[in-house]
Amino acid sequence: MTTILIVEDEQQIARVLQLELSFEGYETIVTHTGTDGLLAFHDQPVDLILLDVMLPGMNGLDVLKRIRKHNETIPIILLTAKSEIQDKVNGLDYGANDYVTKPFEFEELLARIRVALRFTTKAAPKQEQALEFEDITLNEQTREVWRAGHLVELTVREFDLLAHFMKHPRLVQSREQILNAVWSYDYFGDTNVVDVYIRYLRQKLDQPFQLPSLLYTVRGVGYVLKEAAHEA
């Protein structure tokens, strides 16, 4: 089912959008600030984003720019006020697919959503991009991960972290390097978040199958993906 992320600070508008889109058969995720919208985008898979421009804290255009650094293809439709002409121009320049002016007719919004999704589907590359290391296979196109023939369910952030390691095998990286590469936006927090997600990956990749971990801790430095150690 298609999932739409709604980033709208006016809760009444957000609730109406959620109800109407759910009625049309879409899954929805609702956030009310730019920061929460960005976190939701990174933490769970979505197919399209409805993004209000005027948001508290981090505004919609900043959110748009940060998402485009990470993902160039996900369709993003801006929700703008009638007077925000420059914001509309800037939004399209920054990579928005379309915009809808408030107040808008829901049928028009639906039509724009269908067009954006249809265009993205047609433009999607057909080739599959698979990364392999030891008994782990990661497919960037389907976003599937397999360990020793077992399908592993990962969140968006867990997938991106594993993909980063698989693109840089045997390279020891500090927490700061990992944070900068995977959490590509300005993350307001400490590097302990890396430790947390490494633990999540180990729990999902190793423990269920009683397999040795391929993600090693390098004390005083960070982490590395390398071949499992075999006892003599």
Q: For 177-190, how does the pLDDT look when each residue is reduced to its tens digit (9 = 90+)? A: 898 888 765 555 56
Q: What is the pLDDT of residues 144-194, one digit of tens each?
A: 999 988 899 999 889 999 999 999 999 999 998 898 888 765 555 566 889
pLDDT at 121 over 60: no
Question: Partners of 80 in the beta sheet?
Answer: 101
Token pair belonging to 70 = 């990470």
Grade residue 232 by pLDDT with cuts at 50, 70 and 90: very low
**Which range is least confidently modeled, 47-56, 96-105, 187-196?**
187-196
| E strand or H helix at 225 | strand 222-225
Under 8 Å between Cβ of 115 and 107: no
Question: For the sheet containing 215-218, what is the strand order?
Answer: 173-174, 222-225, 215-218
Determine the number of helices (DSSP H) and then strands (DSSP E) in the chain.
8, 12
pLDDT at 231 over 50: no
Domains of the chain, start order? 3-123 (3.40.50.2300), 130-225 (1.10.10.10)
Rounded distance, CA 218 to CA 90, Å? Answer: 44
